[in-house]
Amino acid sequence: METIYLAGGCFWGAQKFFDQFDGVKNTTVGYANGEKENPTYEEVCNDSGHAETVKIEYDAKEISTAQILEYYFMIIDPTSMNKQGEDEGIQYRTGIYYEDDSLQDDIENAMAKEQKKYDVPLAVEVMPLQNFYLAEEYHQKYLDKNPTGYCHVSPALLKLNAKKKSL
pLDDT of 1: 95
Q: For residue 162, what pLDDT is reported? A: 52
* Rounded Cα–Cα distance for residues 110 and 94 (Å): 14
A 10 A CB-CB count for 131 gives 16
Q: Which residues pair with 133 in a beta bridge?
A: 31
Closest alpha carbon to 117 in 152, 148, 73 = 73
Q: Is 52 helix (H, G, I), strand (E, B) or coil?
A: strand
pTM for this prediction? 0.94
Q: 139, 49, 129: which is closest to 93 by C-alpha?
A: 49
pLDDT, position 38: 96
pLDDT of the chain, 167 residues: tens digit per residue: 999 999 999 999 999 999 999 999 999 999 999 999 999 999 999 999 999 999 999 999 999 999 999 999 999 999 999 999 999 999 999 999 999 999 999 999 999 999 999 999 999 999 999 999 999 999 999 999 999 888 899 989 998 875 544 33
Any catalytic annotation for residue 10?
yes
Under 8 Å between Cβ of 10 and 77: no
Are 20 and 115 within 8 A, CB to CB?
no
Query: Which domains occur in the chain, in start order?
Result: 2-139 (3.30.1060.10)
Report the 10 Å Cβ neighbour count for 77.
18
Annotated catalytic residue: which of 4, 10, 32, 143?
Answer: 10
Q: How far apart are CA 59 and CA 148, in angstroms?
A: 30
